[in-house]
Structure 1
């Protein structure tokens, strides 16, 4: 699955579980880590876990293996690596503290209207 298709699948899975403030950063010219970062937040630990679970299930349904999932038990910042798309699912408090959008400020934001 191509990067744009994969980030669309990830954004839709997050949106299905009512993730808030979904942002997609195009990392292709900024980092070798991934083509895209998807950043979103949930309002509590259960929602953060539900978003991560939905993301994993949708990826597996479409033949994609999740390379790594970190932070699921604490549910404050869950990182889901989909090989080319790295999804950061934050609890609302941690999102504002780490502020990845500012940290990776050189990466252009991809409009969600073209994705969802």
Structure 2
């Protein structure tokens, strides 16, 4: 959600829009905590906390793999999927990928956003721009970094998160 002159759509003061944005983010991050799952008896019931956590983990991993597929569809290169759940509370997974030009960086980010929008996921936040050579898409459980090669080499996110399990690498 944009904060500033263009964000006056709701008619709320900026302070109230930030609170609303925070609530939306919390709701999106916790959307499957109270998921209905099959119980041992074949009935569908309210999940226990442990069952809900497992459902949420599976959903987050499925979302991360969907992001990888969408990035690959847009010809992203050197796609990396890292499991960072045990290392940070920000997210469960990082997807890091690269593009060869500003236009391709924008196309990769747009392809991921549009593909997930069709699946019912909207980004919580989006930072950067193709001309900045680094775009970040925040989907709650998955954060996507779309980077140009020089910036990717310079910032070295894979090295920074080197203790995170590498789940997938597509060159």
Q: TM-score, normalised by structure 2?
A: 0.63
State the Cα RMSD in Å. 1.4
Question: What 5-or-longer segments of structure 2 have no aligned partner?
Answer: 1-55
Equivalent residue of 2:61, what SS? Answer: helix
Q: Which structure: larger Rg?
A: 2
User: Structure 1: any 5+ residue segments left out of the alignment?
Assistant: none
Structure 2 match to 1:39: 96
Taking the aligned partners of 1:15 and 1:75, their CA distance within structure 2 comes to: 21
- 1:99 matched to 2:156: yes
What is the correspondence of 1:1-116 to structure 2 with a 5 Å cutoff?
Answer: 2-112=59-169
Which stretch of the first structure deviates more once superposed, 104-113 or 41-50?
Answer: 104-113
Higher relative contact order (CA 8 A, sep 6+): 1
SS of 2:126 mapped into structure 1: strand
With the length of structure 1 as denominator, give the TM-score of the two structures: 0.92
